[in-house]
A = this chain, B = another copy of it.
Amino acid sequence: MNSQVEENYLKALFYLSIDNEDGVSVKVLSKHLDIKMPTVTSMMKKLAAKHLVNYESYKPLKLTEKGTKEAALVIRKHRLTEMYLVEKMHLGWEQVHDIAEQIEHIKSPEFFSKMDELLGYPKIDPHGSPIPDKNGKMVWKAYNKLSECKVNDTVKIAAVINTSDEFLTFLNGRDISLGLEMTIQSIEQFDNTIVVSYNKHSSETLSHRVCERLLVEKY
């Protein structure tokens, strides 16, 4: 079992590895965690001894397969917790990160399975980031919100946040479903309303509230 501290190093390495495919430097990891370089070096040796990190002096750091999986499981718990806190406890998005940062280290598989169940086994979180499954596998597509797209972007609806009946009904009423491709015609600066076209709908207006809940894949 990894300690909380070890879990934090794994998590940081996981995130930093996304942008640094060829490995993460001690410097960068040190900055990210706000922990001095010598401390990082010694922790890397420790994690290497546990086969979680490939460590060689003066070489970039890489998670092993095992390390990647364990990091993903921590991230899974973090994201499930954030979603749970927002959806089921009605805490604000500003508040939940710090709480999730603590709860992610709770040792109790049943606790997190139950959260997963109560949330309806979500595959992506409300930021559009994928939630790793119980085996640490995740679909590597970080979706964008429709609200973050630009005029003339052509996008495909990939997922929906907060699958309430009302919202799904709303989408049905406009023939919007998963996989649908649409092009952004214009964006109203004042209220962030977006006008899109797709299929037989040549000009459908979607509110910012709606666009924030539609995750899309850009082309």
- State the A residues within 8 Å of B (CB): 85, 88-91, 95, 98-99, 102-103, 106-108, 110-111, 114-115, 118
Q: Can you list 22 A-B contacts (CB < 8 A)?
A: A85-B111, A88-B88, A89-B111, A89-B114, A89-B115, A89-B118, A90-B114, A91-B110, A91-B111, A91-B114, A95-B108, A95-B110, A98-B108, A99-B106, A99-B108, A99-B110, A99-B111, A102-B106, A102-B107, A102-B108, A103-B103, A103-B106
| Minimal beta-carbon separation of A77 from chain B (angstroms) | 12
| Minimal beta-carbon separation of A87 from chain B (angstroms) | 12
Question: A115: nearest residue on chain B (CB-CB)?
Answer: B89
- Tell me the complex Cα distance, A90–B115, Å: 10
Q: Which 5 A-B pairs have the closest CB atoms?
A: A99-B108, A102-B106, A99-B111, A89-B114, A95-B110
